[in-house]
Amino acid sequence: MDMENIKSLTLEDETFEEPRQNFNRVLQRLFKSMIESGSTEGSITMKMDVTLEQEYIPNYDPNVEGESRKISKPSFKHKVSSTVTVKDEMSGNKDPQMELVWDEDKQMYILAYISNTDQRSIFDADQPWNQNRADAGSMPEDQTALEDRGAPQIEGPVADEHALPGDVVDGDFREVEEDDGDGYEYDDPDDPDNDE
């Protein structure tokens, strides 16, 4: 067979020059993408589909019998793709240290503070303020509710029984009159620069 009339079916052969060039281009782009994204992992894949088309042609070969002969003509379709692995993850763990219980009123499972154990807590069912409550494991709503349920209180005078916890103001107090303008000017009787 005449060597000038044939082509080798190896990856280095001229037949596969285009797939090789495309592979090299995509490989370079993969490195560029990995560097720009700060990724340390990537992959490149070349897929080649081979199709054999069979047909009959007139036979002029003296070594083959018959007026026609069957030939197979291959065609090659390729695709080169790359993937850059950029991991973006968020994770967490929540352990509320509570128990899962069935709530009859809500008809659903809820989380409740673990009570009625060796370690005593205000949620225990045998505490006086929880004796007459259907939901013995929940927190009392206010101070009056605690007193009504027989909860022990700290002895001492109450300055303002309607005050909010932490509602303390430390500082001087004086009344000011706002100006009709932007609301920041006022008459200060202690100001020596005041002409009035």
What is the predicted pLDDT for the residue at 134? 47
The string over 136-160, giving b where at least 16 C-beta atoms fall within 10 Å of a residue's C-beta and e elsewhere, is bbeebeeeeebeeeeeeeeeeeeee
Are 48 and 36 contacting, i.e. CB atoms less than 8 angstroms apart? no
| pLDDT tens digits, 11-54 | 999 999 999 999 999 999 999 999 999 999 999 999 999 999 99
Indicate if 30 and 73 belong to the same structural domain: yes
Indicate if 9 and 81 belong to the same structural domain: yes
Last residue of a domain, one of 148, 168, 183: 148
Range(s) of the domain holding residue 75: 3-85
In angstroms, rounded to a whole number, what is the distance separating the alpha carbons of residues 44 and 50? 20
What is the predicted pLDDT for the residue at 138? 47
| pLDDT tens digits, 103-122 | 999 998 888 888 766 666 66
Q: Is residue 179 part of a domain?
A: no
In angstroms, rounded to a whole number, what is the distance separating the alpha carbons of residues 9 and 51? 14
- What's the whole-model pTM score? 0.45
Q: How many domains does the chain have?
A: 2
Are 78 and 18 contacting, i.e. CB atoms less than 8 angstroms apart? yes
> Which residues contact residue 160 at a Cβ distance below 8 angstroms, ignoring those fewer than 6 apart?
none
Q: Measuring CA to CA, which residue among 154, 123, 155 is closest to residue 140?
A: 123
Indicate if 110 and 68 belong to the same structural domain: no
Mean per-residue pLDDT for 95-101? 84
Q: Is residue 42 part of a domain?
A: yes
Please determine, for residue 93, whether its predicted confidence score (pLDDT) is greater than 80. yes
Please determine, for residue 73, whether its predicted confidence score (pLDDT) is greater than 80. yes
